[in-house]
Amino acid sequence: MAFDPAHLTALRREFHRSPELGFQEERTKARVAGILRDLGLEVHEGVGVVGVLRAGNGNRAIGLRADMDALPITETSDHGYASQTPGVMHACGHDGHVTMLLGAAQALAADPGFDGTVVFLFQPNEEHGLGARAMIDEGVLERFPIDEVYAIHNLPGAPVAQVSTRTGIICSSESLFEIRIRGQGGHASMPQAGCDAITVGAELVQSLQTIVSRKIAPGAGAVVSVTEFLTDGQRNVLPGNATLRGDVRARSTRDRNAIGGFIRQIANGVAAAHGVLAEVDFNTEFIETVNAEAQAVAVAGVAAGLGLDTVANREPMSFSEDFAHFCAAVPGCLLLLGNGEHGPHGHPLHSSDYDFNDDLLGVGAKFWAALARDRLPERPGSAGS
């Protein structure tokens, strides 16, 4: 099967037309598995899809990961390959990530040039931070041991095909919090008779902003956002109950844990001042993504060797990536690949008119193949392609 640029583009757009949400990627998984089998790879299907390519007798192995899931967003693009699934679209470029890795599998299967094993990891449900852990819990790293692991994420707003990465923290953690306020509702004309939860909630929203501005070091990259404010109040009914929900981003485990403690401290303090009760949940699904030094250096070196615009020490990103769980298990590196600065290729990730840049498909496939050949010993007798 020849993955020329036109074929890669057609395949990516096929995935784009048929997006599937996390842990529902059955059609995508079947298509990926079928392509890998056609290429002659050993294929294993579980919560994700694993393709194994062995060459020579080497005992080193590397993992290359792509995410497969889409988002619950209604696409507003007017191109001819828009989502055909109502309310679901590939608004984060995972259709492109899958296609680039399939292109690399084709190139390496046709001409390995290495002595060892490449494990292609096609992962579900990255968007909710659950897919990597599901594959790890299923035993993927025990069944297919790897010495190191890599992933690509496209980056709108960055120059086309620019590779950027860094050693250390590259993506923030994401924690979700919920604060439930239990007060005493009543008649809107007689607020003194109770203690309405909406007033307490409003004070909490403001007080939580002091965590980043006054309790975490400047420049730490932490973010605390209240994203929902729900009450049981009505037009003339003061609410007795309110729920605040929000999102926390942090660039270190220490800051993440500290913020969780401060949220509880502030919620309980404000609640006590008003004579109400507050219950707090703070849960982390995306941990911080930390790149290992040797793997980050290798990525930058391979990218530069291919003549790509390369940034070896970019600033950390505030978004989160569940590839972090793979990096916590084995040395790894996440790299960002510029999607373009203009038009839909420059529109933000998760926007309804975002689109992956098909010009990256060949670039990504070629990079993956070059990285595999760089990180595994050269196969005896290989042409060294």
pLDDT at 4: 84
* Class of residue 234 by CB neighbours under 10 A (exposed 0-12, middle 13-18, buried 19+): exposed
DSSP string, 39-67: TT-EEEESSSEEEEEEETT---EEEEEEE
Contact indicator for 136, 60 with CB cutoff of 8 Å: no
In a domain, 112, yes or no: yes
Nearest to 370 by CA among 309, 307, 326: 307
Q: What residues contact 186, with CB distance under 8 A and at least 6 apart?
A: 193, 194, 196, 237, 238, 240
Q: Which residues of the chain have pLDDT under 50?
A: 1-2, 384-385
Name the 3-class secondary structure at 322. coil
Q: Are residues 112 and 225 in the same domain?
A: no
Domain endpoint, select from 286, 321, 347: 286
Contact indicator for 100, 361 with CB cutoff of 8 Å: yes
pLDDT at 316: 96
Q: Are residues 26 and 146 in the same domain?
A: yes
Q: Are residues 118 and 42 in the same domain?
A: yes
In a domain, 106, yes or no: yes
In a domain, 382, yes or no: no
Q: Are residues 159 and 199 in the same domain?
A: no
In a domain, 52, yes or no: yes
pLDDT at 381: 63
Task: Give the separation between CA 274 and CA 100, rounded to whole angstroms.
Answer: 56
In a domain, 350, yes or no: yes
What is the three-state SS of 70-93?
Answer: CECCCCCCCCCCCCCCCCCECCCC
Contact indicator for 81, 343 with CB cutoff of 8 Å: no
Domain endpoint, select from 269, 286, 303: 286
Q: Are residues 262 and 152 in the same domain?
A: no
The parent domain of residue 110 ranges over 5-171+289-375
pLDDT at 385: 42
Q: Are residues 199 and 145 in the same domain?
A: no
Q: Are residues 293 and 368 in the same domain?
A: yes
- List the CATH number of the domain containing 203: 3.30.70.360
DSSP string, 2-35: ---HHHHHHHHHHHHHS---TT--HHHHHHHHHH
pLDDT at 1: 44
Nearest to 24 by CA among 74, 77, 68, 80: 68
pLDDT at 5: 86
Task: Give the separation between CA 278 and CA 271, rounded to whole angstroms.
Answer: 6
Q: Are residues 258 and 163 in the same domain?
A: no
Task: Give the separation between CA 342 and CA 344, rounded to whole angstroms.
Answer: 7
Domain endpoint, select from 286, 321, 350: 286
In a domain, 340, yes or no: yes
DSSP string, 214-268: IIS-TTS--EEEEEEEEE--BTTEE-SEEEEEEEEEESSHHHHHHHHHHHHHHHH
pLDDT at 62: 98
Nearest to 332 by CA among 270, 274, 287: 287
Look at the chain and report how many structural domains it folds into.
2
Q: Are residues 335 and 238 in the same domain?
A: no
In a domain, 381, yes or no: no
Q: Are residues 156 and 248 in the same domain?
A: no
Q: Are residues 268 and 304 in the same domain?
A: no
Give the DSSP H/E element, type plus range, for residue 170.
strand 168-171
- Find residue 178's DSSP bridge partners: 245, 281
In a domain, 384, yes or no: no
pLDDT one-digit tens code per residue, 108-135: 999 999 999 999 999 999 999 999 999 9
161: left (phi over 0), alpha (psi -120 to 50) or beta: left
Q: Are residues 140 and 43 in the same domain?
A: yes
Encode 157-167: b = buried (16+ Cβ within 10 Å), e = exposed.
ebebbbbbbbb
- List the CATH number of the domain containing 93: 3.40.630.10
